[in-house]
Amino acid sequence: MAVDDMLRLSVFVWLLICAIQDWRSREVSNWLTLPPLVFAFCLRLTGLIQGSLLPMLAAISFLLLFWQRGWIGGADAKASLVLALLGMQVFAWAWLGLGVWYLGLRLVYGRKCDRRLPAFVGFTTGVGALLVVEVLR
């Protein structure tokens, strides 16, 4: 198993743990979001994770806007920042999973859909789908 695959699997397990807490309490503790943020930042800073900075900076700008407007919570923003630091592929799949999760809930529940939905369930779904796609390649 390659290092990229191990990193993606680790991210999936981390998101799954966060999703369980998010599902139960609609909050995710800082002790679950801050250490991965520091770790991802260090990986990016040391050059162990490479990639273009422009898409990452654009994603961070949107995250700040979404958080400032109240569209996503603090834990969602921190987790998204971790995903953006780890690579745009993981970030894009996580947000695709989030979009599918929200769309599915809207189709099932309509306007009764709670505004404070557990976003980590969507992130986990997206990264899980990425793992499945990578395995099938």
What is the full per-residue pLDDT of the chain (137 aa) written as tens digits?
A: 566 888 899 999 999 999 999 999 989 999 999 999 999 999 988 988 888 888 888 888 988 898 899 888 899 999 999 999 998 999 999 999 999 998 888 888 876 766 667 899 999 999 999 999 998 88
Residue 73 and residue 75: Cα distance in Å, rounded? Answer: 6
Tally of structural domains, the chain: 1
Q: How many CB atoms lie within 10 A of CB 125?
A: 21
Range of the domain at 33: 3-136
Alpha carbon distances (Å) from 80 to 51, 71, 100, 113: 16, 13, 16, 23
pTM for this structure?
A: 0.89
